[in-house]
Protein backbone atom coordinates (compact mmCIF):
# COMPACT_ATOMS: atom_id res chain seq x y z
CA UNK A 1 0.00 0.00 0.00
CA UNK A 2 2.80 2.41 0.87
CA UNK A 3 6.18 2.46 -0.78
CA UNK A 4 7.81 5.07 1.46
CA UNK A 5 6.41 4.58 4.95
CA UNK A 6 8.78 7.10 6.54
CA UNK A 7 6.25 9.73 5.51
CA UNK A 8 3.81 8.32 8.01
CA UNK A 9 5.87 9.69 10.89
CA UNK A 10 4.14 12.99 10.37
CA UNK A 11 0.67 11.53 10.75
CA UNK A 12 0.99 11.99 14.49
CA UNK A 13 1.90 15.67 14.40
CA UNK A 14 0.55 18.75 12.70
CA UNK A 15 2.34 19.93 9.60
CA UNK A 16 3.06 23.57 8.93
CA UNK A 17 0.08 25.05 7.11
CA UNK A 18 0.75 27.15 4.07
CA UNK A 19 -1.31 29.94 2.58
CA UNK A 20 -3.79 28.36 0.19
CA UNK A 21 -4.37 30.48 -2.89
CA UNK A 22 -4.99 27.91 -5.65
CA UNK A 23 -8.65 27.56 -6.69
CA UNK A 24 -10.33 24.50 -5.25
CA UNK A 25 -11.49 21.69 -7.53
CA UNK A 26 -15.04 21.53 -8.81
CA UNK A 27 -16.57 18.66 -6.85
CA UNK A 28 -19.67 18.79 -9.02
CA UNK A 29 -17.50 16.85 -11.50
CA UNK A 30 -17.40 13.10 -10.99
CA UNK A 31 -13.71 12.93 -11.86
CA UNK A 32 -12.80 14.85 -8.68
CA UNK A 33 -14.00 11.92 -6.56
CA UNK A 34 -12.12 8.71 -5.89
CA UNK A 35 -15.38 7.08 -4.78
CA UNK A 36 -19.00 7.92 -5.45
CA UNK A 37 -22.11 5.81 -4.87
CA UNK A 38 -23.55 3.98 -7.85
CA UNK A 39 -20.44 3.58 -9.94
CA UNK A 40 -17.59 1.08 -10.32
CA UNK A 41 -14.65 2.46 -8.35
CA UNK A 42 -12.20 1.41 -5.59
CA UNK A 43 -14.89 1.58 -2.89
CA UNK A 44 -16.68 -1.19 -4.75
CA UNK A 45 -13.61 -3.45 -4.74
CA UNK A 46 -13.96 -7.12 -3.85
CA UNK A 47 -14.12 -7.53 -0.07
CA UNK A 48 -14.56 -11.30 0.05
CA UNK A 49 -12.68 -12.94 2.90
CA UNK A 50 -11.50 -16.41 3.81
CA UNK A 51 -12.36 -17.18 7.42
CA UNK A 52 -9.53 -19.23 8.93
CA UNK A 53 -10.29 -20.62 12.37
CA UNK A 54 -7.88 -21.76 15.05
CA UNK A 55 -8.19 -25.39 13.96
CA UNK A 56 -7.16 -24.43 10.43
CA UNK A 57 -10.61 -24.94 8.92
CA UNK A 58 -11.69 -22.46 6.26
CA UNK A 59 -14.94 -21.01 4.99
CA UNK A 60 -15.63 -18.33 2.41
CA UNK A 61 -17.31 -15.11 3.50
CA UNK A 62 -18.85 -13.33 0.53
CA UNK A 63 -19.25 -9.59 0.81
CA UNK A 64 -22.35 -7.73 -0.31
CA UNK A 65 -22.79 -3.97 -0.26
CA UNK A 66 -26.06 -2.57 1.05
CA UNK A 67 -28.74 -2.32 -1.63
CA UNK A 68 -30.35 0.69 0.06
CA UNK A 69 -27.81 2.23 2.46
CA UNK A 70 -29.47 4.12 5.30
CA UNK A 71 -26.58 6.51 5.91
CA UNK A 72 -23.43 7.91 4.33
CA UNK A 73 -19.68 7.58 4.88
CA UNK A 74 -17.24 10.36 3.95
CA UNK A 75 -13.71 8.95 3.67
CA UNK A 76 -10.40 10.82 3.45
CA UNK A 77 -7.46 8.57 2.58
CA UNK A 78 -4.01 8.66 4.23
CA UNK A 79 -0.59 9.70 2.95
CA UNK A 80 -0.12 7.54 -0.14
CA UNK A 81 0.56 9.75 -3.17
CA UNK A 82 3.82 9.06 -4.98
CA UNK A 83 3.50 12.16 -7.16
CA UNK A 84 6.86 13.94 -7.35
CA UNK A 85 5.31 17.33 -6.64
CA UNK A 86 4.93 18.63 -3.05
CA UNK A 87 1.14 18.36 -3.29
CA UNK A 88 -0.49 15.60 -5.30
CA UNK A 89 -2.57 16.18 -8.37
CA UNK A 90 -6.17 15.03 -8.75
CA UNK A 91 -5.36 12.06 -10.97
CA UNK A 92 -5.58 8.95 -8.78
CA UNK A 93 -2.76 6.46 -9.02
CA UNK A 94 -2.77 2.82 -8.05
CA UNK A 95 -1.76 3.82 -4.54
CA UNK A 96 -4.94 5.87 -3.96
CA UNK A 97 -7.09 3.12 -5.45
CA UNK A 98 -5.49 0.40 -3.35
CA UNK A 99 -5.81 2.20 -0.06
CA UNK A 100 -9.50 2.97 -0.64
CA UNK A 101 -10.14 -0.69 -1.42
CA UNK A 102 -8.17 -1.67 1.69
CA UNK A 103 -9.67 0.84 4.13
CA UNK A 104 -13.00 2.18 2.89
CA UNK A 105 -14.77 -0.35 0.67
CA UNK A 106 -15.91 -2.63 3.50
CA UNK A 107 -17.99 0.20 4.98
CA UNK A 108 -20.25 -0.09 1.92
CA UNK A 109 -21.85 -3.00 3.77
CA UNK A 110 -24.04 -0.36 5.37
CA UNK A 111 -23.36 3.11 3.92
CA UNK A 112 -22.94 5.08 0.72
CA UNK A 113 -19.21 5.84 0.46
CA UNK A 114 -17.99 9.24 -0.73
CA UNK A 115 -14.22 9.78 -1.05
CA UNK A 116 -12.92 13.01 -2.57
CA UNK A 117 -9.63 13.25 -4.37
CA UNK A 118 -7.56 15.94 -2.71
CA UNK A 119 -4.17 17.53 -3.21
CA UNK A 120 -2.54 15.91 -0.24
CA UNK A 121 1.01 16.39 0.97
CA UNK A 122 2.86 13.69 -0.97
CA UNK A 123 5.24 11.04 0.26
CA UNK A 124 8.23 12.58 -1.61
CA UNK A 125 7.51 15.96 0.03
CA UNK A 126 7.38 14.38 3.46
CA UNK A 127 10.57 12.41 2.84
CA UNK A 128 12.28 15.67 2.02
CA UNK A 129 10.85 17.25 5.17
CA UNK A 130 12.04 14.31 7.26
CA UNK A 131 15.51 14.80 5.81
CA UNK A 132 15.58 18.28 7.34
CA UNK A 133 14.51 20.38 4.37
CA UNK A 134 11.69 22.95 4.59
CA UNK A 135 8.28 21.57 3.76
CA UNK A 136 7.51 22.71 0.24
CA UNK A 137 3.96 21.36 0.30
CA UNK A 138 0.91 23.43 1.16
CA UNK A 139 -1.10 21.62 3.80
CA UNK A 140 -3.80 24.27 3.59
CA UNK A 141 -4.37 23.17 -0.01
CA UNK A 142 -5.23 19.64 1.15
CA UNK A 143 -7.66 20.95 3.75
CA UNK A 144 -9.31 23.40 1.36
CA UNK A 145 -9.98 20.59 -1.12
CA UNK A 146 -11.61 18.35 1.46
CA UNK A 147 -13.67 21.23 2.82
CA UNK A 148 -14.89 22.04 -0.69
CA UNK A 149 -15.82 18.39 -1.22
CA UNK A 150 -17.62 18.31 2.13
CA UNK A 151 -19.52 21.48 1.30
CA UNK A 152 -20.57 20.02 -2.05
CA UNK A 153 -21.65 16.77 -0.39
CA UNK A 154 -23.75 18.64 2.18
CA UNK A 155 -25.31 20.86 -0.45
CA UNK A 156 -26.18 18.21 -3.03
CA UNK A 157 -26.08 14.73 -1.50
CA UNK A 158 -26.72 14.74 2.23
CA UNK A 159 -30.38 15.80 2.31
CA UNK A 160 -30.61 15.26 6.06
CA UNK A 161 -28.91 11.87 6.11
CA UNK A 162 -26.58 10.84 8.90
CA UNK A 163 -22.90 10.65 7.99
CA UNK A 164 -19.84 8.87 9.34
CA UNK A 165 -16.48 10.57 8.81
CA UNK A 166 -13.65 8.08 8.20
CA UNK A 167 -9.99 8.99 8.00
CA UNK A 168 -6.56 7.53 8.52
CA UNK A 169 -3.20 9.24 9.06
CA UNK A 170 -3.12 12.48 7.02
CA UNK A 171 -6.79 11.90 6.23
CA UNK A 172 -7.62 11.92 9.93
CA UNK A 173 -5.67 15.13 10.43
CA UNK A 174 -7.63 16.82 7.67
CA UNK A 175 -10.94 15.59 9.10
CA UNK A 176 -9.88 16.72 12.56
CA UNK A 177 -9.46 20.23 11.19
CA UNK A 178 -12.77 19.98 9.34
CA UNK A 179 -14.58 19.03 12.54
CA UNK A 180 -12.90 21.83 14.48
CA UNK A 181 -13.77 24.49 11.91
CA UNK A 182 -17.03 23.36 10.37
CA UNK A 183 -18.82 20.85 12.62
CA UNK A 184 -17.93 21.11 16.30
CA UNK A 185 -20.69 23.01 18.07
CA UNK A 186 -22.43 23.97 14.82
CA UNK A 187 -25.83 22.98 13.45
CA UNK A 188 -24.37 20.40 11.06
CA UNK A 189 -23.10 18.43 14.06
CA UNK A 190 -26.61 17.01 14.22
CA UNK A 191 -25.85 15.05 11.03
CA UNK A 192 -22.75 13.42 12.53
CA UNK A 193 -23.24 9.73 13.30
CA UNK A 194 -19.60 9.33 14.30
CA UNK A 195 -16.05 10.18 13.28
CA UNK A 196 -13.47 7.42 12.91
CA UNK A 197 -10.19 9.34 13.14
CA UNK A 198 -7.71 6.48 13.11
CA UNK A 199 -3.90 6.61 13.05
CA UNK A 200 -3.50 10.18 14.31
CA UNK A 201 -3.49 11.94 17.67
CA UNK A 202 -6.69 13.50 18.98
CA UNK A 203 -6.15 15.34 22.26
CA UNK A 204 -8.54 15.20 25.21
CA UNK A 205 -8.05 16.45 28.78
CA UNK A 206 -6.76 13.74 31.09
CA UNK A 207 -9.63 11.52 32.25
CA UNK A 208 -12.25 13.35 30.16
CA UNK A 209 -14.46 12.25 27.27
CA UNK A 210 -14.93 15.69 25.74
CA UNK A 211 -12.89 18.86 25.48
CA UNK A 212 -9.41 19.32 24.10
CA UNK A 213 -9.27 19.26 20.32
CA UNK A 214 -13.08 19.11 20.12
CA UNK A 215 -15.26 21.18 22.43
CA UNK A 216 -18.63 19.54 21.78
CA UNK A 217 -17.89 16.20 20.10
CA UNK A 218 -17.12 13.51 22.72
CA UNK A 219 -15.28 10.23 22.52
CA UNK A 220 -17.42 7.14 21.96
CA UNK A 221 -18.05 4.95 25.00
CA UNK A 222 -21.11 2.90 23.96
CA UNK A 223 -22.40 1.37 20.73
CA UNK A 224 -25.73 3.17 21.08
CA UNK A 225 -23.99 6.54 21.31
CA UNK A 226 -24.09 8.73 18.20
CA UNK A 227 -22.22 11.92 17.37
CA UNK A 228 -18.94 10.76 18.89
CA UNK A 229 -15.32 10.01 17.96
CA UNK A 230 -13.36 6.76 17.71
CA UNK A 231 -9.64 7.39 17.62
CA UNK A 232 -6.57 5.29 18.34
CA UNK A 233 -3.07 4.44 17.18
CA UNK A 234 -2.00 0.81 17.37
CA UNK A 235 1.15 -0.89 18.61
CA UNK A 236 1.99 -4.48 19.36
CA UNK A 237 1.39 -5.18 23.03
CA UNK A 238 4.96 -6.48 23.34
CA UNK A 239 6.45 -3.53 21.41
CA UNK A 240 5.04 -0.33 22.97
CA UNK A 241 5.86 3.17 21.69
CA UNK A 242 9.47 4.22 21.96
CA UNK A 243 10.37 7.58 23.46
CA UNK A 244 10.69 9.15 20.01
CA UNK A 245 7.32 7.97 18.70
CA UNK A 246 5.01 10.64 17.28
CA UNK A 247 1.98 8.43 17.80
CA UNK A 248 -0.12 8.19 20.94
CA UNK A 249 1.08 11.48 22.39
CA UNK A 250 -0.03 15.11 22.33
CA UNK A 251 2.03 18.16 23.36
CA UNK A 252 -0.54 19.98 25.49
CA UNK A 253 0.03 19.70 29.25
CA UNK A 254 -2.80 17.87 30.99
CA UNK A 255 -4.03 16.26 27.78
CA UNK A 256 -3.84 12.70 26.51
CA UNK A 257 -4.04 11.18 23.06
CA UNK A 258 -7.50 9.63 22.75
CA UNK A 259 -7.75 5.86 22.64
CA UNK A 260 -11.13 4.29 21.94
CA UNK A 261 -11.10 0.52 21.43
CA UNK A 262 -13.79 -0.29 18.83
CA UNK A 263 -13.96 -3.85 20.18
CA UNK A 264 -14.57 -2.68 23.77
CA UNK A 265 -15.92 0.86 23.85
CA UNK A 266 -16.32 0.79 27.61
CA UNK A 267 -12.72 -0.23 28.17
CA UNK A 268 -10.82 -3.43 28.80
CA UNK A 269 -9.30 -6.07 26.56
CA UNK A 270 -11.35 -7.78 23.86
CA UNK A 271 -10.93 -10.05 20.86
CA UNK A 272 -11.18 -7.98 17.68
CA UNK A 273 -13.06 -8.70 14.48
CA UNK A 274 -10.14 -8.44 12.09
CA UNK A 275 -9.99 -8.32 8.30
CA UNK A 276 -6.36 -8.55 7.22
CA UNK A 277 -4.87 -8.32 3.76
CA UNK A 278 -4.18 -11.82 2.48
CA UNK A 279 -0.74 -10.85 1.23
CA UNK A 280 -0.01 -8.34 3.96
CA UNK A 281 -0.19 -4.59 4.41
CA UNK A 282 1.45 -3.45 1.18
CA UNK A 283 4.92 -2.48 0.06
CA UNK A 284 5.66 -0.56 3.27
CA UNK A 285 5.58 -3.78 5.26
CA UNK A 286 6.89 -7.32 5.06
CA UNK A 287 4.83 -9.76 2.99
CA UNK A 288 2.53 -12.07 4.88
CA UNK A 289 3.65 -15.69 5.07
CA UNK A 290 1.39 -18.76 4.97
CA UNK A 291 -1.81 -18.48 6.98
CA UNK A 292 -1.71 -22.17 7.92
CA UNK A 293 1.09 -24.62 8.49
CA UNK A 294 0.30 -26.54 5.33
CA UNK A 295 0.95 -23.44 3.23
CA UNK A 296 -2.41 -23.68 1.47
CA UNK A 297 -3.04 -20.59 -0.66
CA UNK A 298 -5.85 -18.12 -0.02
CA UNK A 299 -7.85 -16.99 -3.04
CA UNK A 300 -9.70 -14.03 -1.49
CA UNK A 301 -8.18 -10.56 -0.99
CA UNK A 302 -8.82 -10.66 2.77
CA UNK A 303 -8.45 -13.10 5.63
CA UNK A 304 -10.58 -13.08 8.76
CA UNK A 305 -8.91 -14.92 11.64
CA UNK A 306 -11.39 -15.26 14.53
CA UNK A 307 -9.75 -15.02 17.93
CA UNK A 308 -6.29 -14.33 16.55
CA UNK A 309 -6.06 -10.71 17.75
CA UNK A 310 -7.03 -8.94 20.96
CA UNK A 311 -6.76 -5.24 21.71
CA UNK A 312 -6.80 -2.99 24.76
CA UNK A 313 -6.31 0.74 25.27
CA UNK A 314 -3.18 1.23 27.35
CA UNK A 315 -1.65 4.26 29.03
CA UNK A 316 2.10 4.00 29.51
CA UNK A 317 3.94 7.08 30.65
CA UNK A 318 3.07 9.89 28.24
CA UNK A 319 1.60 7.53 25.62
CA UNK A 320 -1.95 6.25 25.10
CA UNK A 321 -2.45 3.63 22.42
CA UNK A 322 -4.26 0.48 21.32
CA UNK A 323 -2.14 -2.48 22.36
CA UNK A 324 -2.66 -5.37 19.93
CA UNK A 325 -1.92 -8.93 21.05
CA UNK A 326 -1.49 -11.84 18.66
CA UNK A 327 -3.04 -14.80 20.47
CA UNK A 328 -0.51 -17.25 19.14
CA UNK A 329 -0.88 -20.98 19.75
CA UNK A 330 2.09 -22.99 18.46
CA UNK A 331 0.07 -26.20 18.76
CA UNK A 332 -2.58 -25.23 16.20
CA UNK A 333 -2.08 -25.05 12.43
CA UNK A 334 -2.82 -21.34 12.07
CA UNK A 335 -0.17 -18.63 11.78
CA UNK A 336 1.30 -17.28 15.02
CA UNK A 337 2.17 -13.88 13.59
CA UNK A 338 0.86 -11.11 11.41
CA UNK A 339 2.60 -8.37 9.46
CA UNK A 340 1.82 -4.67 9.52
CA UNK A 341 4.89 -3.08 11.08
CA UNK A 342 6.30 -0.19 9.09
CA UNK A 343 9.59 -1.16 7.48
CA UNK A 344 12.39 0.75 5.80
CA UNK A 345 15.39 -0.88 4.19
CA UNK A 346 14.24 -4.26 5.42
CA UNK A 347 14.15 -3.16 9.07
CA UNK A 348 11.14 -2.70 11.32
CA UNK A 349 10.67 0.86 12.57
CA UNK A 350 9.20 0.15 16.02
CA UNK A 351 8.35 3.77 16.88
CA UNK A 352 5.58 3.63 14.24
CA UNK A 353 3.84 0.56 15.59
CA UNK A 354 1.18 -1.15 13.47
CA UNK A 355 0.27 2.03 11.60
CA UNK A 356 -0.23 0.21 8.31
CA UNK A 357 -2.99 -1.97 9.75
CA UNK A 358 -4.62 0.44 12.21
CA UNK A 359 -8.01 -0.21 10.60
CA UNK A 360 -7.68 -3.90 9.58
CA UNK A 361 -6.92 -5.11 13.13
CA UNK A 362 -10.49 -4.14 14.09
CA UNK A 363 -12.17 -3.52 10.73
CA UNK A 364 -15.20 -5.68 11.45
CA UNK A 365 -15.75 -3.93 14.77
CA UNK A 366 -15.54 -0.52 13.08
CA UNK A 367 -17.97 -1.44 10.31
CA UNK A 368 -20.54 -2.96 12.65
CA UNK A 369 -20.17 -0.07 15.07
CA UNK A 370 -21.10 2.46 12.39
CA UNK A 371 -24.31 0.56 11.74
CA UNK A 372 -25.23 0.46 15.43
CA UNK A 373 -24.43 4.15 15.77
CA UNK A 374 -26.50 4.93 12.69
CA UNK A 375 -29.50 3.19 14.24
CA UNK A 376 -28.97 5.13 17.48
CA UNK A 377 -28.69 8.36 15.48
CA UNK A 378 -31.92 7.62 13.60
CA UNK A 379 -33.73 6.80 16.82
CA UNK A 380 -32.55 10.04 18.39
CA UNK A 381 -33.66 11.99 15.34
Tell me what the mean pLDDT of segment 217-229 comes to.
97
The answer on pLDDT for 7 being more than 90 is: no
Q: Which residues contact 286 (CB under 8 A, 6 or more apart)?
A: 280, 339, 341, 343
**How many structural domains comprise the chain?**
1
* pLDDT score recorded for residue 135: 83
* pLDDT score recorded for residue 161: 98
Reported as a pLDDT band with limits 50, 70 and 90, residue 110 is very high
* pLDDT score recorded for residue 13: 46
Tell me what the mean pLDDT of segment 297-325 comes to.
98
* pLDDT score recorded for residue 251: 96
Range(s) of the domain holding residue 18: 5-380
The answer on pLDDT for 3 being more than 50 is: no
Distance (Å, whole) CA 47 – CA 358: 17
Q: Of the given ranges (29-33, 96-100, 176-180, 346-350), which has the lowest mean pLDDT?
A: 346-350
Reported as a pLDDT band with limits 50, 70 and 90, residue 345 is confident
The answer on pLDDT for 2 being more than 60 is: no
Tell me what the mean pLDDT of segment 292-320 comes to.
97
For the chain, give the mean pLDDT.
Answer: 93
Tell me what the mean pLDDT of segment 255-277 comes to.
98
The answer on pLDDT for 16 being more than 50 is: no
Tell me what the mean pLDDT of segment 105-134 comes to.
92
Tell me what the mean pLDDT of segment 14-23 comes to.
55
Q: At what angle do helices 139-153 and 170-178 cross, to 10 degrees?
A: 60
* pLDDT score recorded for residue 21: 58
Q: Please state whether 101 falls in left (phi above 0), alpha (psi between -120 and 50) or beta.
A: alpha
Summarize pLDDT for 20-51 with one digit per residue, the tens.
557 899 999 999 999 999 999 999 999 999 99
Amino acid sequence: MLRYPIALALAGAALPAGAQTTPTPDYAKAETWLCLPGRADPCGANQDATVIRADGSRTAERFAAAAKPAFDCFYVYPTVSLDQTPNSDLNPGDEERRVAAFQAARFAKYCRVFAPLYRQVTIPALLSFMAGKPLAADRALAYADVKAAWDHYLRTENKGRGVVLIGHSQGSLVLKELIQREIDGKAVQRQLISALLIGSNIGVPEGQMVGGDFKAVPLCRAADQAGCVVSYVSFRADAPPLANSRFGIVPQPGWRAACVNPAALGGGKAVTDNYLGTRGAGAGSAPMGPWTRDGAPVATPFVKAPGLLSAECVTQGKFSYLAVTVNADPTDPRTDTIVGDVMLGGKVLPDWGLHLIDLPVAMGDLVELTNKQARAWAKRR
